[in-house]
Amino acid sequence: MIDTAGPKAPVSTGLVRRPDRRALTRAAVITVLLLLALFALPPLMSGYYTDTMTQVAIYSIVTLGLGLLVGRVGLYSLGQLAVLVIGAWVGARLLFATGQPYILVLIEAGLVTMIIGSLITLPALRLRGLYLALITLMLAGAVTVVLATLNFPNGGGGFSGYNGSFLHIPQIRRPSFAGTDPAYYRFAVIVAIVMFLLVFVHLRARPGRAWAAIRQSEPAALAAGINTTVYKLWAMALASFVTGVAGALLAGADRELFSIDFPIQNSIELLAVVLMGGAFALSGAVVAAFLLAFLPALLYQLWSVPNDWLIILFGVGVMQVLATAPGGIADQFPKDMKRLYGWISRRVRGSAAPEPAPAQAASAKGGGPA
Amino acid sequence: MIEVTDLTVRYGGVTSLDGMSVTFEAGTCGLIGPNGAGKTTFFNVLSGFVRPASGTVRAFGDDLLRMPHYRRARWGVRRTFQTEQAIEGLTVYDNVSMQHSPLRGTARRDDVLVAIEFVGGGLTPDARVGSLGAGQRRLVEVARAVAGKPRLVLLDEPAAGLPDEETAHLTSVIKSIPEQTGALVILVDHDMSLVSAVCETTAVLDFGKLIASGPTAQVLRDENVMRAYLGTAEVM
């Protein structure tokens, strides 16, 4: 029911936005988790898990980009793997060809990928839903085909930088301050934090509001004067940039890149984990990266489960998420924990409550003395 | 003043607007007609969502049809939708501030707050739209439409589905829009008591053709209008 006191006279009021307690708690939890990831975790992890967690950090940037497109703008892209490959290729080529600082290479790879990714997806901006997914999947297929011919740079000359050999090829260099695996893991986490902050700043500003409007109602966005084409392109460009940076980061993590490691099927897995993790929250990107990179490594080490089997697991997972938790694990998990806490609290309170006195009990039943 | 001349819209073989010519002078003007008469199509033409087959629309001297849709919002066209389109994930403030505005900085922020204050209904800037009732969500849309110096406000069935009490509140809000903003308001609604209460003039569409226009009381007594609504020229 609305307050029907009639329209009020225009009054200029100040709007002070103070961070609420929940936001402060969330910020504190995120800071503690990041400090743990940066300082407490590396000494505890074996080489196998250091590599795995590096992949988690890198793929969290990829799922961040795809989550931005799917969850914030409503653009279902199956071409983000192709964008990652472009970033990795450009990063590797620059790292072999130049002695530029690594961070500069990351930015350049991001920018080149942003331009290529935006140009390729430009014609698809008028499409949505299934059609956009189909077109971007074909893009991923086309990049896979080109990559099979071109190959990743491995120290050769010319445009491709491919020397025609699979053996005794030089490794892709890493930054001098992150030469070891634990140091590179920390570096990857810091780059991921910067990419998350970049997207977060966008979401809190005008683009974030424009994307929310486009996602829920394109006519309303148009009526509000939002240039939907520009903002969709902006989202594509931002997603391509962060994914390009992730690609260049992946080049340094893997040190040798092979086209066979990027099958087109991975594009579908990528979208599946983003939906499972939760496309509507930034934390969903981290959950998705754990599903994509950590879960297979864990299952393989524990029970030698082959990676190919995960497509079945992800299929079931997506079905489950779409049916019961459309917001993904990142949205559902806190709700379930809250419910569990409430249930436990009620149990504890119930068992701690004192037994009623016989007279009170009789009175409560309406059987007191007349 | 909005001058519409010979406006025709066709969807394939269906003519949705058929040579519509009408002038909306000032204040709050009604646009009524049975379902499928072409009212929302007319709004879609003004908003830039539909390209007409022929005709012109001059708004305060400017050729509206030559502007791309997002430019029209910058020019001052505002609208609400038949199916309410408040953005759920955002706060009331963010919903209203997403409207294009020529204002900047503090002036813009104050303008948004004034718009929220103006529509009343217990709306607070920090409230999440997802937590609001249907009537309040309608008011969020109206607040968005009156923010950022509007020149032409198009309200598409804003009272649809609202209880009487909320309709009464909305009526007083709509009545105040021209005075508050200086904009011309065109109201589409099936609620004749609402149209009578707020519209000085009214135009009537039937099967895409303009069948009457003029002072509201006079138009509602028009034989053609009664026939279009009731199938007979009995008292409406």
Cβ-contact B226, B206 below 8 angstroms:
no
Cβ contact B69–A222 (<8 Å): yes
Cβ contact B166–A227 (<8 Å): no
Is the dihedral angle over the CA atoms A14, A15, A18, A22 positive or is it negative? positive
Interface residues on A facing B, Cβ-Cβ cutoff 8 A: 1-8, 10-13, 15, 17, 209-210, 212-213, 216-217, 219-228, 280
Q: Residue A132 sits in a domain of what CATH number? A: 1.10.3470
> For residue A331, what are the contacts with CB-CB under 8 A and spacing of at least 6?
A278, A280, A281, A284, A325
Q: Is the pTM of this model over 0.90?
A: no
- Asked whether the predicted pLDDT for residue A1 surpasses 50, the reply is no
Q: How many contacts (CB atoms, under 8 Å) link A and B?
A: 115
Cβ contact B87–A216 (<8 Å): yes
Chain B residues in contact with A222 by the CB 8 A cut-off are: 47-49, 69-70, 73
Cβ-contact A154, A256 below 8 angstroms:
yes
> For residue A265, what are the contacts with CB-CB under 8 A and spacing of at least 6?
A311
Give the closest of B70, B126, B144 to A222, CB-based.
B70
Q: How far is B225 from chain A (nearest CA, A)?
A: 31
Render pLDDT for A70-110 as a digit per residue (tens, 0 to 9): 999 988 989 899 999 999 999 999 999 999 999 999 999 99
Cβ-contact B27, B178 below 8 angstroms:
yes
Strands (E), A45-125: none
Chain B residues in contact with A8 by the CB 8 A cut-off are: 117-118, 120
Render pLDDT for B14-59 as a digit per residue (tens, 0 to 9): 899 999 999 998 899 999 998 888 999 999 999 999 999 999 999 9
Cβ-contact B147, B111 below 8 angstroms:
yes
Render pLDDT for A120-141 as a digit per residue (tens, 0 to 9): 777 767 777 788 888 888 888 8
What whole-number distance in Å separates Cα of residue B63 and Cα of residue B223? 34
What whole-number distance in Å separates Cα of residue A292 and Cα of residue A287? 9
Render pLDDT for A37-70 as a digit per residue (tens, 0 to 9): 999 999 999 999 999 999 999 999 999 999 999 9
Render pLDDT for B176-192 as a digit per residue (tens, 0 to 9): 999 999 999 999 998 88
Chain B residues in contact with A223 by the CB 8 A cut-off are: 47, 73, 77-79, 81, 85
Looking from the CA of B91 toward its CB, the CA atoms found within 13 Å total 13
User: Which pLDDT score, from 0 to 100, does residue A358 have?
Assistant: 52
Cβ-contact A325, A318 below 8 angstroms:
no
What whole-number distance in Å separates Cα of residue A180 and Cα of residue B112? 53
Chain B residues in contact with A1 by the CB 8 A cut-off are: 133, 135, 165-166
Segments forming the whole domain that contains residue A313: 32-160+172-349
Q: How far is B36 from chain A (nearest CA, A)?
A: 20
Q: How far is B160 from chain A (nearest CA, A)?
A: 15
Q: What is the b/e burial string over B128-150, where b = at least 16 CB atoms within 10 angstroms of the residue's CB?
A: ebeebeebbbbbbbbbbbbbbbb
Q: What's the burial of A169, exposed, middle or buried (CB within 10 Å: 0-12/13-18/19+)?
A: middle
Cβ contact A220–B87 (<8 Å): yes
Cβ contact A226–B74 (<8 Å): no
**CATH 3.30.465.10, applies to B2-230:** no
Strands (E), B33-144: 54-59, 62-63, 77-79
Cβ contact A2–B47 (<8 Å): no
Chain B residues in contact with A13 by the CB 8 A cut-off are: 110, 113, 117
Give the closest of B74, B89, B113 to A13, CB-based.
B113
Give the SS3 label for residue B2: strand
> For residue A279, what are the contacts with CB-CB under 8 A and spacing of at least 6?
A66, A67, A70, A71, A72, A328
Q: How many domains, chain A?
A: 1
Average pLDDT over residues A245-265: 91
* Domain chopping of chain B, boundaries: 2-230
Q: Is residue A253 in a domain?
A: yes
Continuous segment of H or E residues that includes residue A323: helix A310-324
- Asked whether the predicted pLDDT for residue A302 surpasses 80, the reply is yes
- Asked whether the predicted pLDDT for residue A279 surpasses 60, the reply is yes
- Asked whether the predicted pLDDT for residue A12 surpasses 80, the reply is no
Cβ contact B122–A210 (<8 Å): no
Q: What pairs with residue B8 in β-bridges? A: B54
- Asked whether the predicted pLDDT for residue A3 surpasses 90, the reply is no
User: Which pLDDT score, from 0 to 100, does residue B232 have?
Assistant: 63
Q: How far is A71 from chain B (nearest CA, A)?
A: 11
DSSP tag of A173: P
Which amino acid is residue A175, in one-letter code? P
Q: Compute the C-alpha angle A294/A76/A291, nearest 5°.
A: 10
Q: What pairs with residue B178 in β-bridges? A: none
